[in-house]
Structure 1
Amino acid sequence: MTMIQCISPVDGSVYAERPAMTAEAAAEAVGRARKAQKAWAKRPLEERVQLVLKGRARLNEMSGDVVPELAWMMGRPVRYGGEYRGFNERSNYVASIAADALAPIVVEDSRAFERRIEREPHGVVFVIAPWNYPYMTAINTVAPALMAGNTVVLKHASQTVLVGERMVKAFVEAGVPEDVFQNLFLDHDTTARLISEGLFDFINFTGSVEGGRSIERAAAGTFTGIGLELGGKDPGYVMEDADLDAAVDVLMDGATYNSGQCCCGIERIYVHESLYDRFVEKSVAWVSNYKLGNPLDNETTLGPMANKRFAKVVREQIADAVSKGARALIDPKLFPADDGGAYLAPQILVDVDHSMPFMREETFGPAVGIMKVKTDGEAIGLMNDSRYGLTVSLWTKEADRAARIGHELETGTVFMNRADYLDPALVWTGVKETGRGGSLSVLGFHNLTRPKSYHLKKVTT
């Protein structure tokens, strides 16, 4: 029997494990979801919306268990209180727009014709969620999918193996039927087999580029709709008129919060030459104030990375950059908890360039490179010099300038004077190897449904 294990970054122990389902048992579960979907979709929209909101509320009541579980599973300090702010904000917002987002588009309603486009649920939606923000990333699809009348099958990463189980428990206790929302413990081979057999009507995956490619290969020929949010190397650009202190505060937080394990975390920063020295100096002071340690300690502000193999990638990228001329500015002596394993000190590198993998490949850790630029054109070229495109963070007092620059950037979201935030009213999407499709907003509902046209010619005398 294959066991799906969570190795805790706190102490390297096996924190939780669950037996992987057989392909036959998993297929039966998906079959139950398909059987339950028609009845679920026939329920009034407002009833489905309210059941999802009750599930959200029930999960909030579990915070005493959820917060320390997250610390044990993926290392986020308990002082930050889990993911409830974003989880609640996203659930509440999609609930507020569900009726409008799913309303028919009426082209004509006359004595002669009724012509309209309606939205219908896909059927069974498969959500494959990541470990870095396991509740928030899952709810991006789970909430609107259920509201739209789909049934949902959820698979979580092994690093956060308990999250799907707890989410489903909360929603079922709140009244969502068991077969409508299910959590499955699946290994990669079984996951690929289910996808290749065309058992799902839509698949949403958040994870690595290679993981996305694997899903596309498995789904080839099934014509199953797929939404992918994959890798990132999100940049920040600090212009000469930026609020320097605000830029340092937000960009350094965006680079290091959650140990840098954020889908839209800031991994590279370009600063106008007039502010460069002061920006670097203030950034070093900001990052040096972290306390690296056990995430179960309320005084800890920076926990371990989720797995020591993730930290190994960050260390290797930093070492490679330094060997090629980069300078590391954070004194490792400030972080005695750095054990060479999952506990990793934050780092800022200067004298970096795009010949270094550190400035081009996804790092996904608490380390950031800073480069000096002279013009908007130079910054735009560097920001676009990436195979990824999720978000960019522009720092200026001129919204028109930010918009002009934004039009030239190959990205899914353009931020001005903020970073590392998911606005549920805007579609969350990426370009290039960051993926395709989009979640949340009205467009998120559209991606989780299919259009059906009605052309009704009335009998006239």
Structure 2
Amino acid sequence: MTQELITISPIDGREVVRRAYASDAQIAQALANAQGAQAAWRAMGVEARGRIVSLAVDRFVAAKAEIARAITIQMGRPLRYTPGEVAGFEARARHMIAIAGEALSPIQAPAQAGFTRFISREPIGVALTIAPWNYPLLTAVNSIVPALMAGNTVILKHSDQTPLCAELIDRAFRDAGAPKGVFQYLHASHDIVQRLIRAPEIGYVSFTGSVRGGRIVEESAAGRFIGVGLELGGNDPAYVRADARIDHAVETLVDGAFFNSGQSCCGIQRIYVARSVYEEFLGRAVALTNGYVLGNPLHADTTLGPVVRAQAAVEIRGIIAEALAAGARNMIDPSHFKEASESSPYVAPALLTQVDHRMRVMNDECFGPVVGIMPVDGDDEAVALMNDSPYGLTAAAFTQDEEAALHIGRRVRTGTFFMNRCDYLDPSLAWTGVKNTGRGVSLSAVGYEQLTQAKSFHLRSV
């Protein structure tokens, strides 16, 4: 069994990080430190905790340039975009800190003479966050900050592809003077992670990743009766109605499909377009897609970087090839993108037409710059196709009729429904999904519910 992680940059195939996995002694110490620090951290109160967490956010954001470059080198997103993830980390963290006092305040029962009754929100104890590489800061912050604000201590296990992100977050908390054991990270193999989930010190697990990984987390936690939050990806659809602003829909959806090289759980993978505007939409989408610049993500003009690794590129090209063999047509000529090759992580964007739901691209997650487009004859057909997926993270409708959008949104099985936007997360709203996308909620006031235990107080005066 390997004893260390090795991070290979998709930019050029070179090794950029090598770290030893945590030893048994380090794991035991981290669990003991987290459990030992939790009571005092809880006793500090939400305002005092907020000051320390806010200072850690300050320290983290101050290193934006360093962090952005680290993300690019580790997973390949163009450097022109990675500072935006640091900004997103800050925005989500600040929001969850700001609402913590109200979200964690006791729930008062109706007044009753002779009784004091309320429900308090008690911290669970030690929370384990398991974060992926595709948005290494945004996925991590969703659970780290609210867990800490709720009075829990946190252990972060980051992807082997982005281990520097865990180290940089840890540095910010240390620089902010966070008490020992309040926030820690461990570099851990899959076997070590399963052992951590089974450890009696762990009271909650937040996991973002694949369906297969989510099943392993659930199996590891079975019989422990602890909370598990699972965000397992998507196959997200969008519907362009005949009354949509086509220019806006094209710009938004092409970006939603290809940003981060399509490696986004809530990225757009399926587009259904009203038949009357289908040809216009398609022509504009092809032109916009051909304007992307695929290349080294450290170069200023690059708008599309490599996918995370060569094997991922092989899988993406396989899904495209399957669709083409089944009758699909790729409206984008891969030879237009000179950096693309069959043996590298550099994948040309694909815009597939003449697709149907027998094809994997339309019914399973494809973590790459690939989108399928189908014409539809109305809202009913669009809703039926949008729901024809084992996933349900987000869905979008493009229209100038808000009532129509609400009607569509109520019928679509999804965690978040958008009108005239996509591929976005609002920290004021619950981030959740249905079907194989997983279960649980992060962010918003509702997100605090998973990170606390309700405790009822029933006091009688005699």
* CA-CA distance at 1:178 after TM superposition: 2.9
Question: Aligned runs of 1:294-305 on 2, under 5 Å?
Answer: 294-305=296-307
Query: What residue number does 1:407 align with?
Result: 410
1:354 to 341, 357, 365: 357
Rounded Cα–Cα distance in structure 1 between residues aligned with 2:185 and 2:196 = 14
Shift of 1:231: 2.2
Question: SS of the residue aligned with 2:365?
Answer: coil
Deviation at 1:174, TM superposition (A): 1.0
Q: Which runs of 5+ in 2 are unaligned?
A: none
* 1:111 shift after superposition: 5.1
- Does 1:4 pair with 2:5? yes
**Given that residues 27 and 194 in structure 1 are in contact (C-alpha distance below 8 angstroms), is that contact kept between their aligned partners in structure 2?**
no
- SS at 1:226's partner residue? strand
After TM superposition, give the deviation of residue 314 of structure 1 in Å: 1.0
Partner of 1:434: 437
Aligned match of 1:264:
266
Distance 2:261 2:8 in 1: 17
Query: How far apart, CA to CA, are the structure 2 residues paired with 1:178 and 1:428?
Result: 30
Equivalent position of 1:383 in the other structure: 386
Indicate which of 131, 134, 137 corresponds to 1:132: 134
Indicate whether 1:62 and 2:63 are aligned: yes
Query: Which secondary structure does the structure 1 equivalent of 2:371 belong to?
Result: strand
Q: Does residue 322 in structure 1 map to residue 307 in structure 2?
A: no
The residue type equivalent to 2:230 in the other structure is L
- What do residues 362-386 of structure 1 show as CA deviations (whole Å, max 9, x unaligned)? 0011110000100111111111110
TM-score (norm 2): 0.98
Q: Is the 8 A contact 1:238 1:272 kept in 2?
A: yes
Q: Give the structure 2 partner of residue 71 of structure 1.
A: 72
CA deviation profile, 1:74-102 (whole Å, cap 9, x unmatched): 00111114312211111111111111100
Aligned partner of 1:41 in structure 2 is 42
Query: What is the match of residue 93 of structure 1?
Result: 95
**Aligned-residue offset at 1:163:** 0.7
Q: Deviations over 1:215-239 (max 9, x none)?
A: 1011111111100000210000000
Q: CA RMSD in A?
A: 1.1
Aligned to 1:144: 146
Q: Judge which range, 232-241 or 106-115, deviates more.
A: 106-115
Q: Aligned with 1:18: secondary structure?
A: strand
- In 2: Cα distance, 1:359 partner to 1:292 partner: 24
Q: Quote how far apart the aligned CAs of 1:306 are.
A: 1.0
Aligned to 2:16: 15
Residue pair 2:75, 2:162 contacting (<8 A) in 1 also:
yes
Task: Give the distance between the partners of 1:47 and 1:90, measured in 2 at CA.
Answer: 19
Count of matched residue positions in the alignment of Structure 1 and Structure 2: 459
Partner of 1:149, secondary structure, is coil
Aligned residue for 1:159, secondary structure, equals: coil
Work out whether 1:392 is the aligned partner of 2:395. yes
1:202-221 to structure 2, matched below 5 A, reads: 202-221=204-223
Q: What is the DSSP-based 3-state SS (H/G/I as helix, E as strand, rest coil) of the residue aligned with 1:455? A: strand
Q: Are 2:247 and 1:254 equivalent residues in the alignment?
A: no
**Aligned equivalents of 1:162 and 1:62: distance in 2?**
13
CA contact (8 A) 2:37 2:180 kept: no
C-alpha separation between the residues in 2 aligned to 1:178 and 1:296?
36
TM-score (norm 1): 0.98
* Aligned partners of 2:67 and 2:86 also within 8 Å: no
Instruction: For 2:160 and 2:403, locate their aligned partners in 1 and report how far apart those are by CA, in whole Å.
Output: 45
How many Å apart are 1:44 and its aligned residue? 2.2
Could you tell me the percent identity over the aligned residues? 48
SS in structure 2 opposite 1:311? helix
Q: Contact conserved, 1:248 with 1:279, CA < 8 A, in 2?
A: yes
SS of the equivalent of 2:146 reads helix
Answer yes or no: is the 8 Å Cα contact 1:22–1:190 preserved in 2. no
**Aligned letter for 1:167?**
I
Residue segments in structure 1 that go unaligned for 5+ positions in a row? none
Residues 9 and 307 in structure 1, CA contact (< 8 A), matched pair in contact too: yes
Alpha-carbon distance in 1 for matches of 2:72, 2:135? 12
1:240-276 C-alpha deviation (Å, 9 max, x unpaired): 1001000000000000001011110000100000110
Match of 1:239 among 238, 241, 246: 241
In structure 2, distance between residues paired with 1:287 and 1:307 = 22
* CA positional deviation for 1:109: 5.0
Structure 1 distance, partners of 2:400, 2:263, is 29
The one-letter amino acid of 1:363's match is C
